[in-house]
A and B are shown apart, each in its own frame.
Chain A
């Protein structure tokens, strides 16, 4: 674009001001990046939940169990590729404040359904051999500085007593955003030791042969168990995760409010800056028009300038936010995921550009409408 030199000259005319404005965008988008990341952590991975999985829970309440006998019936529902299940353990490690989720899972089927968990082959083999074995996520291991081979005692709150586990392996997510703040141990160990609740599981997870069949398969499952003592509620993992996250409070609203205020403030600040920048140049804009620059070109020059500021600041802020999240969860594992997705980065950049366009719009229109004869007299 042949006018780029002109836009560049205008951008660099007040370097400090331009830098500060770019900085405002960077700060706002950095904050946006962190807010989105934290929101993602609290949404219980709803954003990265598998689209090919259904969660089957007791229709009455999530905390009510389902019979183990449903396993074979679920496996026969058309469209179901695999079934696994889990039970919430609710153990305490040393102190109540050290909360993290623990699930008793079926060692044979769990990883068939949760293919995003990656466990080194020898560690998985050890887990398979070890009835008291457990696997913990990378973030959880880091939080308590656990190593393979450690013995982890938990105080049971649902099933009393001290339960000891051997840390056989540490799992990672094979894509970013997978929750690695959890502990998995063997259902057969729970079943053997617990005094009540035998023969039940917390919930089932169904892997679909074809994600498009979600609605059909869910209806078939719930229909199959209708009017039984244990009616089921089957929903997508995403819906399940979202419902689960609701129990954490309305983080979404908090994040939206903070984000909204930040971007609105940014709009006011940069709108004012752009207005001043253009007003200072009234005489020059008049000269451009005198020379024959069309109104639309003058409009475009101001808008492009504003968008360049927004784009640079936005890219910088989001890049810093990304680097920050790559550095790991600063709480040391309390947040299950600490991941800024490329989608969120795109959204942040889009928002920054939108603010840039809005901030530049009024001054750009003013520049477009400028009456040359009048402006030249004032110069």
Chain B
């Protein structure tokens, strides 16, 4: 279940009265204003909305990369908005897989080493890490590219490596910020196929920001960010009003 009225049962993610205000000089920008959200396990949610509406801000708050002005975010019972920055960092390592528009791979590391990064923070042995990385690269269909550097890969392949990095430590949920925003139509389709498969086959929970209605169509639920809160809608526009 995914609800935005603040009366859901939370399930996995529970957001209450989330406010985020940026200050630029004397000007205050109220990006999120009393936002509520409940997401259950195994959901595939797409966030849409015009540029500057606060989609990235929302993902950053959900992933513990930023702290809200007020309100709370609770994931699997842990209230992350109450955590210290050091605990939050450790929490991210265990629970969140991030996927970015620009892939954000480390250019000097091979695909293998990029995917291995999150595992360096675990207690896994080298052999165990190698197995996990190989498995993650196999899931995204790049088992044969593990020794390649990012510059030797296409954009679509880079994004798949980034997805392998996001899933390798088996996080509680995935956050994707416009994962197809920089890709051609074919590659974008493949990436969406992959994300949908992570949800249907592997039971992952995915929250994704996108501008692309085709991409949003793959999600089970489409939410629109409008004036600082979420409203339910369809992939084609802020319907339901």
Contact = CB atoms under 8 A, between A and B. Distances in A.
Given A12-B108, A295-B89, A373-B65, A290 B98 contact: yes
- Chain B binding surface, main DSSP class: helix
B194 interface: no
B97 to A, nearest CB: 9
Interface string B59-101: 0100101100000000000000000011001101110001010
A326 B160 CA distance: 57
- Chain A binding surface, main DSSP class: helix
Nearest to A12: B108
Given A2-B120, A6-B109, A9-B113, A292 B89 contact: yes
B225 to A, nearest CB: 17
A239 interface: no
Interface in B95-118: 98, 100, 102, 104, 106-109, 113, 117-118
B65 A372 contact: yes
A262 interface: no
A332 B54 CA distance: 77
Interface string A88-106: 0000000000000000000
B165 interface: yes
B120 A3 contact: yes
A111 interface: no
A291 B117 contact: yes
Contacts of A289: 89
A379 B118 contact: no
Contact of B106 (A3, A12, A284, A377): A284
Interface string B146-165: 00000000000000000001
Contacts of A3: 120
Given A372-B65, A373-B66, A376-B65, A292 B92 contact: yes
Contacts, number: 67
Interface string A23-63: 00000000000000000000000000000000000000000
Interface size bucket, B side? 20 to 34
A288 to B, nearest CB: 7
A98 B66 CA distance: 77
Contacts of A114: none
Interface in A70-97: none
Contacts of B100: 376
Contacts of B108: 9-10, 12-13
Contacts of A379: 102, 104
Given A9-B109, A295-B89, A290 B65 contact: yes
Interface in A1-25: 2-3, 5-6, 9-10, 12-13
Contact of B60 (A13, A291, A293, A373): A373
A202 B57 CA distance: 87
A13 B94 CA distance: 29
A290 B65 CA distance: 7
Contacts of B65: 290, 372-373, 376
A243 B151 CA distance: 66
A292 B93 contact: yes
B53 interface: no
Interface centre among A5, A290, A376, A379 (most CB of B within 10 A): A290
Contact of A294 (B86, B94, B102, B106): B86
A304 interface: no
Contacts of A5: 109, 113
A3 B106 CA distance: 14
A300 to B, nearest CB: 13
A287 B104 contact: yes
A365 interface: no
B104 A283 contact: yes
18 contacts: A2-B120, A5-B109, A6-B106, A6-B117, A9-B106, A13-B107, A289-B89, A290-B92, A292-B92, A293-B93, A295-B85, A295-B86, A295-B89, A372-B65, A376-B65, A376-B100, A377-B56, A379-B104
Given A290-B104, A294-B90, A379-B102, 9 more contacts: A3-B120, A6-B109, A9-B106, A13-B107, A284-B107, A291-B93, A291-B98, A292-B121, A293-B121
